[in-house]
Structure 1
């Protein structure tokens, strides 16, 4: 059994529990941040996209990249096996009414899967949320761990659903600033160096500070909820496929598919940096 397999066998038996209150302060701070990134006349009345700032890790065991190592592959001496990580994708399933201000929410975390692909390891985490003793949401997130330095690709293929309707339903341009990313990192208790330290990013072959995956997902959900105020989301599955850098204009694009689901993406020059599929309630998803 190699070091990753040994760690995986141990970590899959563990469970983490985070209790948090959906505080009015956190909600107001994130609402203001959304408005600064995408000024909209009618903000969304729902809290889609707000879950990432609550029920977070303690940051008591930081890796060399600044992120908490509590679920990172480690050896027997508690030394990290990988120097780098990237949030590559995940999903959110809404099981009941969204938590609202002052609700106490419990999150239970478990490692669902550990998969080795070449020299990288993909760790999938399952998070189950309850409020007032009822399940309200499950979240799945996948983190890739590697020792390989980032290598930019010259071209990225964009794969669209063949049933997508002609034309774009809604789109807008925005630019993430360093202060936007740092404000979200503060709200979500995220100390990953690639989200604030330009010198560290340069040493990692990144051309600037990177917008965090959870911020991109939160902005996409908030934008969709604002443009579709009557939408009740059953599932949002997404993938982060390429770094989104600060101070570079990107487009938020929202399409409706013929099968009554929505596709939303953060795009730059026609290439998808992050995107996913929104499945509304009652659409037949199972």
Structure 2
């Protein structure tokens, strides 16, 4: 059993980090190609929303990466000793457009570090706030939750997944092909070395998944694009929460339902439970 020294880990609360990268037409064009967007990436034009998740990533030498492909613990984020790290959810508020050609700056601060006991063992939740500027103008604010958990035993390939309630069908639906190519391209866009998204033998044998795992931020980006297409404009704010994983073993759907002045959105594999849920407000 891994013990968490929460007093030590909470010393990271208030730690800050600033990273910046220019959003070039080449980056925007690669983002558009990955998501099958047909618009031309033009200097000075508004960039696709959530493209900032692909900018200014953590850059670590390959030799320093852990067995899972993540950089070593410590630095800006607390050195949580639990081996599995997951994007649990985020809440975004949009203030102005990020524009292609602008210098995009992300200022981040650790706001909280908490621990609890989950069904699979100890969990540690780290909350980070980000301020995203486009050439000095506030564009996006984000509250992000990261969960660390213990490594569970790999499930045998023949093991049946636990029964879960199937997700409902939304009034609006769109089918997505969770292809290894899509997952690899998004990993490349975000410089994400986590092997569960592109190394199927590792994902199965070491982490016990039935296939490659669909990124949480990838699902969030697809849901936001879906919401924008349904309402014809970007929401003022949108929040996401991951509930269960999606895999490349089957396609999945984007779902939406009108809810007051906003939209309730979710992803789900065919016959599977809700994987990610969201609420968009205009």
Matches within 5 A, 1:84-99: 84-94=84-94, 96-99=95-98
| Structure 1 SS opposite 2:163 | coil
TM-superposed CA distance for 1:187, in Å, is 0.7
2:149 corresponds, among 122, 146, 149, to 146
Contact 1:175 1:247 in 2 (8 A): no
Distance 1:157 1:124 in 2: 30
Question: Structure 1 length normalisation: TM-score?
Answer: 0.82
Matches of 1:204 and 1:168 in 2, distance apart? 31
Which residue in the other structure is 1:196 paired with?
A: 198
Specify whether residues 156 and 149 from structure 1 end up closer, same or farther in structure 2 by C-alpha distance, changes over 3 A only: farther
1:247 Cα deviation from its structure 2 partner: 3.8
- Please say if residues 130 and 136 of structure 1, whose CA atoms lie closer than 8 Å, have aligned partners that are also in contact: yes
Change in Cα spacing, 1:42 to 1:256, as seen in structure 2 (3 Å) is farther
Equivalent-residue separation in structure 2 for 1:11 and 1:192 (angstroms): 23
Aligned Cα RMSD in Å?
A: 2.6
What is the distance in 1 between the residues matched to 2:84 and 2:76?
13
Q: Could you tell me the TM-score, scaled by structure 2's length?
A: 0.83
Provide, for residues 21-47 of structure 1, a one-character-per-residue CA deviation record: whole Å limited to 9, x for no partner.
121111111111111xxxx7889x861
- Unmatched runs of 5 consecutive residues or more in structure 2: 41-45, 156-160
Query: How far off its partner does 1:131 sit?
Result: 2.2
Number of positions where the alignment pairs a residue of Structure 1 with one of Structure 2: 260
Find the aligned partners of 2:53 and 2:124 in 1 and give their Cα distance.
Answer: 23
What stretches of structure 1 of length at least 5 have no aligned partner?
A: 75-79, 161-166, 281-286
Conserved in 2, the CA contact under 8 Å of 1:178 and 1:247? no
What is the 5 A alignment of 1:259-274? Answer: 259-268=260-269, 269=271, 271-274=273-276
**Offset, 1:168:** 4.2
